[in-house]
Copies of this chain bind each other. A is one copy, B any other.
Amino acid sequence: MTQRDLASTQYKAGVLIEALEYIKAYSNKTVVIKLGGSAMTTPRLAEAFAEDMALMRLVGIRPVVVHGGGPQISELMKKLGMQPRFVAGHRVTDEATVEVARMVLLGQINRRIVGLINRHGDLATGLSGEDGNLLVTTRKFGPSGEDLGLVGEVVEVRPTVLQKLLDDGFIPVIAPLGISSDGEVHNVNADTAAGAIAKALRAEKLVYLTDVAGLYEDLGDEDTLLSEVELEDLVNLIRSDKLSEGMLPKISSCVEALEGGVSRVHILDGRIEHAVLLEVFTPEGIGTMVRAPGSPTESEFRALKD
């Protein structure tokens, strides 16, 4: 081995050793990842995400993936001659629409993620929120009481099926569908589903992979990206009415998760390859982090493990 080869090889060792303290800190902890559309836009991004999940699982972390699929649902609806309709950002959902949503979410998107992860072993298994009655929902109404049809609000999470699969070494990949107590199937906002699941599992971390770099102090100015904000700031943000329709459920779910026992929520840029891996295994800060009040800082948290 030449000196040059050796130097390059030693650099590799350094990276692995740097990861050591993060592996220690997250060992046996649950991390819920909401996978937004942007993280799947190129094959390479999708593969990198799958690699991240496999690596996390193999080093002893318990990842849970929740995905959405709005654009793909609209696309298939159109192919079938149906007209998507929205009220205040919510898809108005009749029975035919929920059928399409199920087909797209479970038959396309869920499968793609499961397949990519399983290239690395018998690791992932797809789930609908209907399986084992995981997500129990009621009908949700629009902000002014509009009838949205079969749109679900999560009223209970029955996490047994998830806990069993996690204990058995699998990575659950969840499509955000819910089931009401009288057997009605509901379409659920994926951000909200991820938050509710993280809370029910008392996850250590909840990660939103989005198509923005994070939260900004001044939304128009990219230089004002916030690397850490307080729970209080999020609450103010919601009250400020300045949030877009897409960000509102995300931010509301963050608040609910943090108040319900999750220690840390991250809003990451899904367009960066291996964004989750970098967040979890390196000191480099990516995106915006929100910490539950009273929970240790990242470095305190790692120190706890020493």
Show the binding face of A for B, using Cβ within 8 Å. Answer: 1, 5-6, 9-13, 15-21, 23-24, 27, 48, 51-52, 54-55, 58-60, 76, 79-80, 99, 102-108, 110-111, 114-115, 118-128, 130-133, 158, 160-161, 164-165, 168, 170, 179, 181, 183, 185, 272-274, 277-278, 281-282, 284, 286, 305-306
Contact of A9 among B55, B108, B278 (CB under 8 A): B278
> Judging by beta carbons under 8 Å apart, are A118 and B133 in contact?
yes
What are 23 A-B pairs at a CB distance below 8 A?
A9-B282, A9-B284, A12-B284, A13-B274, A17-B52, A20-B51, A23-B58, A24-B54, A76-B103, A80-B80, A99-B107, A102-B111, A103-B106, A106-B110, A111-B128, A118-B133, A120-B306, A121-B305, A122-B132, A122-B158, A125-B161, A126-B130, A168-B168
Bound Cα distance A179, B126 (Å): 14
> Judging by beta carbons under 8 Å apart, are B183 and A10 in contact?
no
> Judging by beta carbons under 8 Å apart, are A23 and B55 in contact?
yes
Contact of A24 among B58, B102, B131, B273 (CB under 8 A): B58
Residues of chain B within 8 A of A305, CB atoms compared:
121
Residues of chain B within 8 A of A54, CB atoms compared:
20, 24
What is the oligomeric copy number?
6
User: Given A17-B55, A20-B120, A284-B1, are A179 and B115 also a contact pair (CB < 8 Å)?
Assistant: yes
Query: What is the distance, in angstroms, from A29's C-beta to the closest C-beta of chain B?
Result: 13
> Judging by beta carbons under 8 Å apart, are A119 and B185 in contact?
no
Bound Cα distance A183, B115 (Å): 7
> Judging by beta carbons under 8 Å apart, are A306 and B119 in contact?
yes
Residues of chain B within 8 A of A181, CB atoms compared:
306
Bound Cα distance A180, B185 (Å): 32
Residues of chain B within 8 A of A5, CB atoms compared:
284
